[in-house]
A and B are shown apart, each in its own frame.
Chain A
C-alpha cells in the first residue's frame, strides 16, 4: 500500500517507524525537538518518543558527531540531523577520521553505524555558506555510504536502509525537495544502497543526476519531448556505492550523456560519473560528456546572480540539445523547481 506524501513527511514517517521497530535508534541535533522540528522531519518522532530519544544537542557539531560514534560503538543507533548541511564541515573529523575507518582500522571487529542527515539550502539568498551540498565531499572516503534521494519514497527508503546498515551513512537532502509530493509505501521498506533507478526512459541522451537535479532533468526531458528529443534520466540515488552498471547501460544505449549536479564540477560527482564512463565505455560515446554544475565561484545572494548560479532544467535542456545537434530549437525560460517558495527559509 502506498499513498501520497511530501518528501519531508516521508522522512518524518520513516523516522518514527524505524524508531518503533528499533529501540536503539535515537535522534540527535540542534533544535530537533522544537516547534519546527527540523522542517517537520523530527517533530513527530519527538512527539511520539520524547526528549530521551529525540535529543536537542549543544551547538557542538564536532563533539556531537564523536559522541554519536561512541554511542554507536556501545549499542545505540544515532541519527544526527543538521538542518544546514554546511555545518557538517565541523563534524568531518569524526565522520572521516573515525566513523568511516573504524571497522577497517581496528581489524574488522565491528563498525559504528551512525547516520547523519544534512539539509542543503538553495535560493532565498542563502548564499555562500548555506547552499553547499557535500555529497561528493563525503562520497570521497571509503567506509561511508552516501545517498542523495530525489523522491519521497526514496527519502524514506534510504533512511530505513541507513538505520539498518552496518556501515555509517551520510544522507543529503535538498531543502527544495521538501514540499514535493510522491507515492510512498506505508511500510518501512529499505531501498538498497548502490542501486539507482531509471527516472525516465529515453533514447537520444542520458542525464545522470541525484537529488534535486533529478527533478530538473525530468523537467528538461518534458520540454524536450515536445521538441522530439527523447531524454533518459538516471537517478543514482546513492553516491557511494555508485550504480555504475545502470549509468553505463543507459549511456551505451543513448551514446550521449549530461551529468547534472548541485555541486561544483571540479573533483565532484559529475567528475566521478564522467570518469566511470570514460573508463568503462569510452567507445560508446558519440559526443563528449557534458557537465551542468554551478560555476566556479561560491553561491551568491543577490537574486539575479543566484538565478544564474544554480544549475537548472533550462541549462540541462540546452546541453542535451547541443549534444543531439538540434540547432534550430530554442529553450524557453523555465522557472526553478523551488519557484513560489517564500522566506524566511
Chain B
C-alpha cells in the first residue's frame, strides 16, 4: 500500500508510524524496569509512555536535516528523530559513550547527526532556542525547519509568549509542538490555566499572535503526522511559525519509572485515556487500512501479529543497548572539568 511521495517531505506509512511507536514504547518500558530494579541509571528520567504518537507523528514528517529541540521529556522525540539508542542508554547510565559523554543525563540528550539538536531541563527555555535556531537558518537561506516539543506547563512560562511574539514578527520557520498531557507534575491544567473559558486555550493564545495553530488528538498518530506535514509546508513556504497543540496523557509519574503518579486522577479519566492508547489505536488503524481487513489470510500477518513481532525485536534491542551501556567505561575524574570552556582552553 505505497503512498506516493510527491514532495521532498517524508510521508510515513501507517505501519512505519506504528512500528516506531512500538519501538519507543518497548524501549521506555524496558528502561523503566531496569531503572526501578537496578538503581544504576542515576539521572532523573521523564518517560513518554502513552504519549508516543506526538513524537512519532511529528518527526516522521521531518527531513533529516530539520532540527528538533525539546524540553525534559525527550526520549521519544530523540528516538523518533533517529537518535542513536545505544548513545541514549549509555547517557542514562552516565557512561563516556553516552550521547553527551555522560555529562548531560536524560534531560540533556543530543544527536546532531540526525538533527536532534538537544533537550534541556529548564521549562520552556528551548522554545526560545529553537526560535533562534530557525531564525538563524532562515537568515542563512536554508529551507530547514525547526521543531520544539514542550508541555502544557511550559506554555505558562513567559519565554513561551516572548518567543511566539518574536517568531510572529520575524516570520520564523519554527513549529511549536505542545504536548498537552493535562498535568504539570501533579497540578491539573484547570488549576494553572483558564482553559475552560472560550478563547483562552493554548492554541487560541498562539492565534492571538497571528500564528496558525491547530489543536488535535495527540494520540492519533496519523492526524499528528498529517498536521505536521501542513506545518512544515507552511514554514518552508515562508509563512512563519506554526503551533500544534496535541492532547495526550501521561501514564506514569512525572519523573521516574513508577505508575503511581501520586495524583488523585479521576478513574474514568484515566480509563478513557488508557483506552486511547496510541499504540492500540495505531494497530487498529493499520488493520482497518489493510485491503483484506475483513478476512486476513494466512500469508499476511495481522497488525497485532506485526506488533507482537516488533515488540520482541525492540525489547531485545533495548536490552542489548542496556548491556552495552553497562559494559562501557565511565568518564574518568581526570577529565572532570574538560569542556567547560571553548578552545583555546583558558586556565582559571
Contact = CB atoms under 8 A, between A and B. Distances in A.
Contacts of A93: 122, 125, 159
Contacts of B133: 70-71, 73-74
Contacts of B136: 70-76
Nearest to A242: B348
Contacts of B340: 103-104, 142-143
Nearest to A97: B122
B249 interface: no
B193 interface: no
B339 A94 contact: no
A182 B69 CA distance: 46
A302 interface: no
B132 A69 contact: yes
Contacts of B99: 107
B103 A64 contact: no
Contacts of B343: 166
Interface stretch (B112-120, B223-231, B269-277, B281-289): B112-120
Contacts of A69: 128-129, 132
Nearest to B100: A107
B140 A75 contact: yes
Contacts of A103: 339-342
Contacts of A242: 348
Given A165-B342, A167-B342, A241-B348, A70 B101 contact: no
B85 to A, nearest CB: 17
A194 interface: yes
A193 B346 contact: yes
A310 interface: no
A50 B99 CA distance: 40
A145 to B, nearest CB: 8
Contacts of B72: none
Contacts of A142: 340-341
A76 B342 CA distance: 16
A77 to B, nearest CB: 10
Nearest to A59: B162
A67 B132 contact: yes
B149 interface: no
Interface stretch (A108-116, A223-231, A259-267): A108-116
Contacts of A111: 342
B127 interface: yes
Interface residues of B, number: 47
B158 interface: yes
B103 A66 contact: no
A166 B342 contact: yes
Contacts of B104: 105-107
A67 B165 contact: no
B122 A63 contact: no
A291 to B, nearest CB: 22
Interface in B311-346: 338-343, 346
Given A69-B132, A75-B136, A106 B163 contact: no
A109 B166 contact: no
Nearest to A194: B346
B35 interface: no
Contacts of A193: 346
Nearest to A76: B136
Contact of A65 (B98, B127, B128, B134): B128
A166 B137 CA distance: 20
Contact of A76 (B100, B118, B139, B162): B139
B108 interface: yes
B341 A167 contact: yes
Nearest to B163: A63
Given A109-B110, A167-B341, A66 B129 contact: yes
Q: Top 6 A-B pairs ranked by shortest CB distance? A: A166-B342, A66-B128, A70-B132, A108-B339, A63-B162, A107-B101
Interface of A: 52, 57-58, 60, 62-76, 78, 93-94, 97-98, 103-109, 111, 113, 142-143, 145, 165-167, 193-194, 240-242
Given A93-B125, A145-B341, A167-B346, 9 more contacts: A62-B158, A64-B128, A66-B126, A70-B129, A104-B340, A107-B99, A107-B102, A145-B346, A165-B342
